[in-house]
A and B are shown apart, each in its own frame.
Chain A
Amino acid sequence: MRSMAALGLLAVALQTVCIAQVKSPITVSITTPSQVAKIGEAIRVNITVKNTSDHSVKLYKALGPDGQAEAANQIEVLDADGKKLPRIDGPAVQVRGQIYHRQMPMSRTMIRLDPGQSSEDFLILSNLFDLSKPGKYTVTVGHGLRVDVPGADPYLMNVPSNTITVTLTE
Chain B
Amino acid sequence: MMGCDNTGIGLPATITSVSPSQWYPGKTYNVLITGVFPGNASPTVLPGCDYTEVYVYDNNGYLGMQINGNYIGLTETSFTITVPANTPSETAYVTLTCDGGCSLAQWPVQIGCPAPTITSIKPSTWFAGKEYDDVAIVGTNFVTKDKATTGCPETTVNITAADGSVVPVSAVKVDSQTKITFTIAPPTSDPTETATVTVGTTTNTANSANLATQPQILGNQILFKNKPVNSPLSPPPVAVGQQIALTTPDLPSGMTATKMTWTVDGTRIAGYTPTPASASVQELTDSDLKKANMTFYWVYPENPIEVTYQYCVDIPGVGNQCSEEARAEFEVDGPSDVTVKPSDMTFFISGNPEAMIWSIEFDATATSPPSNDGEYTWVQLITVKEIGDFDDGTGSTCTGGPGLDTQYPYETGLHSEDGYVDPIDSTYEKEERTNSEFHMYLMWNPLTDGSIPVPLGSIAWSASGDVVWSPTSKTWKKISGGTKSDDFSTQSPSFPQWKGGPVTPETIAANCK
Which residues of A line the B interface, CB within 8 A? Answer: 58, 60, 62-65, 67-68, 71, 74, 89-93, 95-96, 98, 100, 102-110, 142, 144, 146, 153-156, 158
Contacts and interface: CB of A to CB of B under 8 A. Distances in A.
B351 A100 contact: no
Nearest to A64: B407
A38 to B, nearest CB: 25
Contact of B380 (A58, A89, A107, A144): A107
Interface string B371-402: 00000000010101010101110101010000
Contact of A90 (B408, B409, B509): B509
Contacts of A109: 410-411, 416-419
Contacts, number: 124
Nearest to A96: B392
Given A95-B390, A102-B388, A156-B353, A63 B406 contact: yes
A67 B384 CA distance: 22
Central interface residue in A105, A106, A108, by most chain B CB within 10 Å: A105
> Do most interface residues of chain B lie in helix, strand or loop, or is the interface mixed?
strand
Interface in B338-355: 346, 348-353, 355
B390 A93 contact: yes
Given A109-B410, A109-B419, A146-B357, 18 more contacts: A63-B406, A64-B407, A64-B409, A67-B407, A91-B508, A91-B509, A93-B512, A95-B429, A102-B425, A103-B505, A104-B386, A104-B423, A104-B505, A105-B421, A107-B419, A108-B419, A154-B357, A156-B351
A93 B388 contact: yes
Contacts of A90: 505, 509
> Do most interface residues of chain A lie in helix, strand or loop, or is the interface mixed?
strand
B418 A108 contact: yes
Contact of B350 (A100, A106, A155): A155
B504 interface: yes
A74 B421 contact: no
18 contacts: A64-B408, A68-B406, A74-B352, A74-B353, A92-B509, A95-B429, A100-B427, A103-B425, A104-B505, A104-B509, A105-B386, A105-B423, A106-B420, A107-B382, A107-B420, A107-B438, A109-B410, A155-B350
A110 B382 contact: no
Contacts of B380: 63, 107
A146 to B, nearest CB: 8
A106 B509 contact: no
Central interface residue in A58, A67, A109, A142, by most chain B CB within 10 Å: A109
Nearest to A100: B428
A65 B509 contact: no
Contacts of A63: 380, 405-407, 410, 418
B422 interface: yes
Given A64-B407, A105-B384, A105-B386, A95 B392 contact: yes
B52 to A, nearest CB: 122
A147 B346 CA distance: 13
A122 B216 CA distance: 61
A110 B417 contact: yes
Contacts of B21: none
Contacts of A91: 398, 505-506, 508-509, 512
B428 A93 contact: yes
Given A107-B382, A109-B411, A154-B346, A102 B423 contact: yes
B407 A68 contact: yes
A166 to B, nearest CB: 22
